[in-house]
Chain A
Amino acid sequence: MWIRKGLTVAAAAALAFGAVSCGSSPGGRDDGKVLIGISIPLTGDFAEPGKSVEEGYRLWAETINGKGGLLGKQVELKILDDKSQAEAVVSDYEALIAQDQVDLIFGPYSSRLVIPAARVAEEYGMLFVEPAGNAAEVFEQGFQNLFYGGPSVADTSFDHLVDHVLAMPEEQRPKTAAIVAMDDPFPKATAHGVRDQLRDGGVEIVVDELYPPNQTDFSGLAAKVAASNADIVIGGAAYQDAVNLIIGLQQLNYDPEIAGFTTAPTHPEFAKALGAGTAGILAPTSYSPDARHETNAEFVAAYEEKFGGRPNEDHAAAFATGQVVAAAVEAVGCAEQGECQQQLVDWLRNAEVPTVVGPLSWDDAGRPKSASMVLQWQDGVSRIVLPADAAEAEFIYPKPGW
């Protein structure tokens, strides 16, 4: 009896692994193209921005192929869906690097997913440029190969807003603030960055709450914020949670003087979801389609042609990531796994790369060296309002009614 059992198990195991090992081939590829491996959240909590990142990457690939490719070879993207899950992002990159033998990798979306993915990249010695993970933790893990494809880090994203608020004359200045944040590195870092600075500046924090990423019912949280009657509400959010919270606040007739949310207001769908309710909402942004950076006008035009409408922050960050890697590859002259990756890392460490989000350069941990701007929704359009030298419109204060 044990015989049969033992043999059955042995047979099954052998068959399974035999079938599995048949399909793989060690060693490199030589198919004359540059294969780039990417894992992004196309489903799950980060699906909305994940889609934007995918579009940005694809647009970059098309653009560069149109100009002859990388090092003369056509670029091909292999994109996997990590369902916004850390486990999946790890096995995706592991498969891309170890099984598919990709030449280069681009990073995923959100600080939450970037950290485990960066670890895989690091342990395989791959260059890791990523479009959307800039919470403090990302840079504190000791990664040697990580570069963020955007101009600023999370905690300081809303700095211009905070400075503006604290610079207001005493009688005009808001006195209380409600801070809510999704329990996820980036929104949390941004919201808490604002909270700490406001508190140091003398503003009273009356609400300070965190909520899990999969929360969809915001009636309790909205009730709490509305009851506090805070002058400022700051939401560290992704997308749908911000929409739900704002609807919840509108339903309770709560009207703050300043309302700032991360990420969500930078998406064009935001206007569709809230209609006139977007009036006066602020958001930090690393990108403006009207900014006069090198390559930006071309990018905006190409985006309009392919997708219609204007690109947002996530599209730009993805495109910029592609630009950064391309610059390194062209400068160093190689695009493959192994030694080449360390050469790319070393070159980038000291470089300044012109991208659609501006010229990018980094410190030893991969932190970028510039700052974010602040946009505000006015009459159904989002406009840059801070800092003053990049502003397209006046900062409206207090916020017009929802």
Chain B
Amino acid sequence: MDSTVVFQTVILGVLLGGQYALLASGLTLYFGVMRVVMLAHASFLVLAAYLAWWFTTSTGLDPMLSMAITVPLFFGLGVVMQRILLSRLRPATLTMMSCLLTLAIALVVEGVLGFLFTGVQRRVQVGYGSAQLNFFGASIPVVKLVSFGLAVFGLAALYFILMKSSFGRSLRATIQHKQAAQLVGINTDRVAGHGFGLGLATAAVGGTALALDATIFPSLHWYWIGPLMAIIVVGGLGSVPGAAIAAMILGIATSVLQIPMGATWAQTVFYLALFATLLFRPQGFFGGRLAQRF
């Protein structure tokens, strides 16, 4: 394998890793806040992607502008979902029930998307769709750079909210220790709702990024459930920086391994990493002292 190819795949891997990091960032919040195994996150990514596509085909504007609508919409949806559906689950059977419930939500989303947009595969067409930049001999598609840029922006925004705002502090407190947070006067129920909303809002950004360079169809979310889950387990639950680092590593690994092994075998890397983490370091590798274990 010659070095230009390796260099190129590493770059592509970094861009992919950034995208994965954005897609996974919200996922880590759901578990931290509510101990919910959220299998519907991927389907909301696809929903956001469809909304971006629909926005572009109806208005002719750049899909990224759709975020002005989708981000607040998804935030609201997340809060509603948490308050109305998830808070009803009983703690004793939370894991099983949250799996079933969130899977059910994913199915509903898939069904509605299929009904509204049919199963035909869609692809957003932007002017810069086939353009590429030359970077020391590597050809970097412009859409992937834009997608990466969006990921950086989204993650930075998330980090800022979590670290600097009072809501973010309450959220982190709730994630670290719910009872203690309640003792210092935080309304954990409301925070949980907003935390969920925040997670789903990142899905809006992530889905838009996905729409730029991917083909979308209603059952696409099945493809993402596994890798996203693996990223947050490896990264450490409740830890956004952890998820970002894990995403980057796994993104580069899969990208590089695609060349010798083919895309499908390369994907197994996610699951092998997940198994290794669960067996040897269940609280994740990059989460810091306070990362949760499942």
Q: Please, which residue of chain A has its CB at the minimum distance from the CB of B12?
A: A219
In this complex, the interface size class of chain A, counting residues with CB under 8 Å from chain B, is: 35 or more
> Is there an interface contact between A47 and B120, defined as CB atoms closer than 8 Å?
yes
Q: For residue B54, give the distance in angstroms from its CB to the closest CB of chain A.
A: 17
| Complex interface residues of chain A between 274 and 308 (CB less than 8 A to chain B) | 277
Residues of A within 8 A of B220 (CB): 216
Residue from B2, B12, B130, B219 within 8 A of A44 (CB atoms): B219
Residue from A209, A210, A227, A277 within 8 A of B2 (CB atoms): A227
Q: Please, which residue of chain B has its CB at the minimum distance from the CB of A46?
A: B119
Residues of B within 8 A of A247 (CB): 129-130
Stretch at the interface among B192-200, B241-249, B259-267: B259-267
Residues of B within 8 A of A252 (CB): 132, 139, 141
Q: For residue A182, give the distance in angstroms from its CB to the closest CB of chain B.
A: 12
> Is there an interface contact between A244 and B215, defined as CB atoms closer than 8 Å?
yes
- A215–B118 Cα gap in the complex (Å)? 19
> Is there an interface contact between A240 and B215, defined as CB atoms closer than 8 Å?
yes
B70 within 8 A of A: no
> Is there an interface contact between B118 and A224, defined as CB atoms closer than 8 Å?
no
How does the 8 Å CB contact mask read for A204-217 relative to B, with 1 for contact and 0 for none? 00000111101111
A83 within 8 A of B: yes
Residue from B119, B223, B264 within 8 A of A83 (CB atoms): B119
Known contacts A220-B259, A247-B129, A253-B132; A211 and B215 CB within 8 A of each other:
no
B156 within 8 A of A: no
Residue from B4, B218, B264 within 8 A of A211 (CB atoms): B264
Q: How many residues of B contact A (CB 8 A)?
A: 35
Residue from B125, B141, B214 within 8 A of A217 (CB atoms): B214
Known contacts A42-B118, A83-B119, A251-B130; A223 and B214 CB within 8 A of each other:
no
How does the 8 Å CB contact mask read for B110-123 relative to A, with 1 for contact and 0 for none? 00001000111101
B56 within 8 A of A: no
Residues of A within 8 A of B114 (CB): 43
B8 within 8 A of A: yes
B5 within 8 A of A: yes
Q: Please, which residue of chain A has its CB at the minimum distance from the CB of B261?
A: A220
B176 within 8 A of A: no
Residues of A within 8 A of B118 (CB): 42-43, 47
A71 within 8 A of B: no
Q: For residue A112, give the distance in angstroms from its CB to the closest CB of chain B.
A: 16
- A250–B130 Cα gap in the complex (Å)? 6
> Is there an interface contact between B119 and A42, defined as CB atoms closer than 8 Å?
yes
B292 within 8 A of A: no
How does the 8 Å CB contact mask read for B1-36 relative to A, with 1 for contact and 0 for none? 010110011001000100000000000000000000
> Is there an interface contact between B120 and A243, defined as CB atoms closer than 8 Å?
no
Known contacts A216-B220, A250-B130, A251-B139; A209 and B262 CB within 8 A of each other:
yes
Residues of A within 8 A of B121 (CB): 47-48, 216, 239-240
> Is there an interface contact between B119 and A44, defined as CB atoms closer than 8 Å?
yes
Residues of A within 8 A of B125 (CB): 273
How does the 8 Å CB contact mask read for B251-294 relative to A, with 1 for contact and 0 for none? 00001001100111010000000000000000000000000000
Q: Please, which residue of chain B has its CB at the minimum distance from the CB of A277?
A: B130
Residues of A within 8 A of B5 (CB): 223-224, 227
> Is there an interface contact between A220 and B255, defined as CB atoms closer than 8 Å?
yes
**Which of A84, A244, A252: most chain B CB closer than 10 A?**
A252
Q: Please, which residue of chain B has its CB at the minimum distance from the CB of A224?
A: B259
Residues of A within 8 A of B132 (CB): 251-253
| Complex interface residues of chain A between 307 and 361 (CB less than 8 A to chain B) | none
Q: Please, which residue of chain B has its CB at the minimum distance from the CB of A209?
A: B262
A221 within 8 A of B: yes
Residues of B within 8 A of A402 (CB): 130
A51 within 8 A of B: yes
> Is there an interface contact between B120 and A48, defined as CB atoms closer than 8 Å?
yes
| Complex interface residues of chain B between 83 and 118 (CB less than 8 A to chain A) | 114, 118
> Is there an interface contact between A217 and B263, defined as CB atoms closer than 8 Å?
yes
Residues of A within 8 A of B8 (CB): 223
How does the 8 Å CB contact mask read for A185-228 relative to B, with 1 for contact and 0 for none? 00000000000000000000000011110111101110110110
Q: For residue B101, give the distance in angstroms from its CB to the closest CB of chain A.
A: 24
- A294–B161 Cα gap in the complex (Å)? 70
Q: Please, which residue of chain A has its CB at the minimum distance from the CB of B132?
A: A251
> Is there an interface contact between B9 and A220, defined as CB atoms closer than 8 Å?
yes
Q: Please, which residue of chain A has its CB at the minimum distance from the CB of B215?
A: A216
Q: Please, which residue of chain B has its CB at the minimum distance from the CB of A221?
A: B263
- A51–B121 Cα gap in the complex (Å)? 12
How does the 8 Å CB contact mask read for B190-221 relative to A, with 1 for contact and 0 for none? 00000000000000000000000011011110
> Is there an interface contact between B141 and A220, defined as CB atoms closer than 8 Å?
no
Q: For residue A213, give the distance in angstroms from its CB to the closest CB of chain B.
A: 11
Q: For residue B258, give the distance in angstroms from its CB to the closest CB of chain A.
A: 3
Q: Please, which residue of chain A has its CB at the minimum distance from the CB of B121?
A: A240
- A48–B141 Cα gap in the complex (Å)? 27
> Is there an interface contact between A251 and B141, defined as CB atoms closer than 8 Å?
yes
Q: For residue B18, give the distance in angstroms from its CB to the closest CB of chain A.
A: 14
Known contacts A250-B130, A252-B132, A273-B123; A215 and B263 CB within 8 A of each other:
yes
- A251–B264 Cα gap in the complex (Å)? 22
- A82–B287 Cα gap in the complex (Å)? 45
Q: For residue B241, give the distance in angstroms from its CB to the closest CB of chain A.
A: 26
Q: Please, which residue of chain B has its CB at the minimum distance from the CB of A274?
A: B130
Q: For residue A151, give the distance in angstroms from its CB to the closest CB of chain B.
A: 27
Given contacts A43-B218, A44-B219, 16 further A-B pairs with CB under 8 A are A43-B120, A47-B118, A83-B119, A84-B119, A211-B262, A215-B264, A216-B220, A219-B258, A220-B9, A220-B255, A220-B259, A220-B263, A223-B5, A224-B259, A243-B215, A250-B130
A-B pairs with lowest CB-CB distance, top 10 = A43-B119, A220-B258, A240-B121, A251-B141, A47-B119, A250-B130, A227-B5, A216-B215, A252-B139, A47-B120
User: Would you list 17 pairs from A and B whose C-beta atoms are within 8 A, ordered by A residue?
Assistant: A44-B119, A44-B219, A47-B217, A48-B120, A209-B262, A215-B263, A216-B214, A217-B214, A219-B12, A220-B259, A220-B263, A221-B258, A240-B121, A240-B123, A251-B139, A252-B132, A273-B123
Residues of B at the A interface (CB closer than 8 Å) are 2, 4-5, 8-9, 12, 16, 114, 118-121, 123, 125, 129-132, 139, 141, 144, 214-215, 217-220, 223, 255, 258-259, 262-264, 266
